[in-house]
Amino acid sequence: MSLIKDIEIIELGDVEKEDSSPWSSTVVLIRMVTSDGFVGYGEAPTTMMTRGVYEQAKEVARVFKGKEVEEVRKNCLEVYKHSFYLPVSMETSSALSAFEIASWDIIGKIHSMPAYEAFGGRCRDSIRAYANGWYSNCVTPADFLKKARTAVKMGFTALKFDPFGDAFDYIDERRMAIAVEIVGTLKEALPKVDLLIECHGRFSANSAIRAEKKLREFRPMFMEEPVHPDQFEGLLRFRSMSRTAVALGERVLDSSLFLNYLKNDAVDIIQPDVTNVGGMIQARNSAELAAAFGVEVAYHNAFGPIQTATTLNLDYAIPNFLIQESFEAFWPRWKKDLVASGYSLEKGFLRLDKGRPGLGIKINERVLEKQKISLMEPFNPDAPGWTVGGTFVHGR
């Protein structure tokens, strides 16, 4: 038996240097060690809740410690039993996800197989990526175009971006016109590149409907979270009037919670996040549920390299994969160096190193030690933490 013997909860970060994704300037990692010496890593997201996730990881550790590492479902159900607010507590689902991911990292190492082999093996050999985080400090159409050209030169054939400046809930005609100009400029200059419009759940249904009508002529691959996440009826109204595909799911914290979106035809592409939906089993279950409705999957992936490696293992295994989010090229140096090896990003495609067990990654212990912190994430009163740095700008 491989019992979970030791658990270390680690916060890493650099709260001053994360323009590409300020929401992930900190990450919480789990280092799990078994009684027979196997080591596994997991990752939890921290958006405006770093210390909350860290403390909740201590609660989850009390359940996992001493348990058989291969009894993943049983261990997760035990957390479900004790946690009164799971699966609607982001802190708990995030912490649990990290433990579940670390378990699969160890299981793969025990059996000398990549984690994706435990989920049915590979359906594909490479993963098409879309760039995100590339447009930090972009305000004007010219700003966006300059950085978009750089991303395309890297090999990306799809770009996601938020063109809406500091609009929130309501978007006036001036800000709408700027957004249309930004998207139109990119479409005209880069006609073969897929454009993915990020809304960050910032709009009321009425504003989202207006935005989609203005942007549909540019044929975006999808609009992501077009409506505030608590306005389900508004989302249905948006769907009834939209010609653009809807993507959402990063705030859905359990695979079963996708059912309402799918049965009501509210979504075309689901975006579960393996680090907050409950881990690899829940993320895979989400994909299987979507497949029953003919819906594709584009996993959300906006935090750190352990998340990326975990997500790639699922991308390899699910049949209804569409495209994969990638911030890797625009990360700060410490995040790029945290994983010494395990996967690569080349010419717009992500690949796991072949045959490596577990998640397939090797952690750079030097970077791990250097980046340890014990801080809340930075707070900017002038821009929400979920926006790419320098883009939530007034008076453009």
Check which CATH number belongs to the domain holding 45 and give it: 3.30.390.10
What domain range includes position 263? 117-363
pLDDT for position 170: 98
Q: 49 and 192 share a domain?
A: no
pLDDT of 28 reads 96
Does residue 132 share a domain with residue 105?
Answer: no
What is d(CA 58, CA 44) in angstroms, rounded to the nearest whole number? 13
The mean pLDDT of 91-106, rounded to a whole number, is: 98
What is the length of the chain?
396
In a domain, residue 310? The reply is yes
> Between β-strands 127-131 and 324-326, what pairing exists: parallel, antiparallel or unpaired?
parallel
pLDDT, one tens digit per residue, over 108-121 is 999 999 999 999 99
Point out the catalytic residue in the list 111, 228, 300, 394: 300
Q: What is the pLDDT of residue 395?
A: 54
The model's pLDDT over 144-164, given as tens digits with 9 standing for 90+, comes to: 999 999 999 999 999 999 999
My answer on whether 282 and 203 are in the same domain is yes
Same domain, 149 and 82: no
Q: From CA 9, how far away is CA 58, in angstroms rounded? A: 8
- Looking at 114, 135, 162, which one is the last position of a domain? 114
- Tell me what the mean pLDDT of segment 369-374 comes to: 94
Ranges 169-178, 287-296, 310-319, 380-389: which has the least confidence:
380-389
**Does 222 fall in a domain?**
yes
Q: What is the rounded CA–CA span in Å between residue 18 and residue 136?
A: 10
Is residue 392 included in any domain, yes or no? Answer: no
Instruction: Tell whether 389 is covered by a domain.
Output: no
380 domain residue, yes or no: no
Distance of CA 280 to the CA centre of its chain: 13
The pLDDT tens digits of the residues spanning 271-329 come to 999 999 999 999 999 999 999 999 999 999 999 999 999 999 999 999 999 999 999 99
- Residue where a domain stops, chosen among 90, 114, 138: 114
CB-based burial, 340-370: b 16+ in 10 Å, e otherwise: eebbebeebbbebeeebbbbbbebbeebbee
Q: For residue 45, is the peptide bond before it cis, meaning its omega torsion is within 30 degrees of 0?
A: no
Asked whether residue 229 is domain-assigned, the answer is yes
Query: What is each CA distance from 241 to 207, 228, 238, 294, 363, in whole angstroms?
Result: 12, 17, 5, 21, 48
Look at residue 381 and tell me if it is in a domain. no
> DSSP letter at 377?
P
Q: Are residues 182 and 244 in the same domain?
A: yes
Both 63 and 198 in one domain: the answer is no
Q: Which residue has the higher pLDDT, 308 or 1?
A: 308
175 and 35, same structural domain? Answer: no
Burial 286-312 (b: 16+ CB within 10 A, else e): bbebbeebebbbbbbbbbbbbbbbbbb
Q: Say if residue 110 is in the same domain as residue 125.
A: no
Same domain? For 222 and 182 the reply is: yes
Pairwise CA distance, residues 258 & 237, whole Å: 18
3-state helix, strand, coil in the chain (%, to 5): 40, 20, 40
Tokens of 41: 């890593």
53 within a domain of the structure (yes/no): yes
pLDDT confidence of residue 183: 98
From 82, 111, 200, 228, active-site residue: 200
Alpha-carbon distance 175 to 166, whole Å? 8
- For 238-266, write each residue's pLDDT tens digit: 999 999 999 999 999 999 999 999 999 99
Interatomic CA distance for residues 24 and 11, integer angstroms: 11
Number of domains in the chain: 2
| Confidence at residue 22, expressed as pLDDT on a 0 to 100 scale | 86
- CATH number of the domain encompassing residue 227: 3.20.20.120
Phi and psi at 160, nearest 5°, equal: -110, 140
Q: How confident is the model at residue 375 (pLDDT cuts 50, 70, 90)?
A: confident
**What is this structure's pTM?**
0.97
Co-location of 263 and 285 in the same domain: yes
| Pair (107, 126) in one structural domain | no
111 given a catalytic annotation: no
In angstroms, the CA 329 to CA 151 distance is 9
Element (H or E) spanning 12, and its range? Answer: strand 4-13
Mean residue pLDDT across the chain: 96
Q: Is 228 a catalytic residue?
A: no
> What span, in angstroms and rounded, lies between the C-alpha atoms of 302 and 285?
20
Q: Is 243 exposed, middle or buried (0-12, 13-18, 19+ CB in 10 A)?
A: exposed
Could you tell me if 100 and 137 lie in one domain? Answer: no
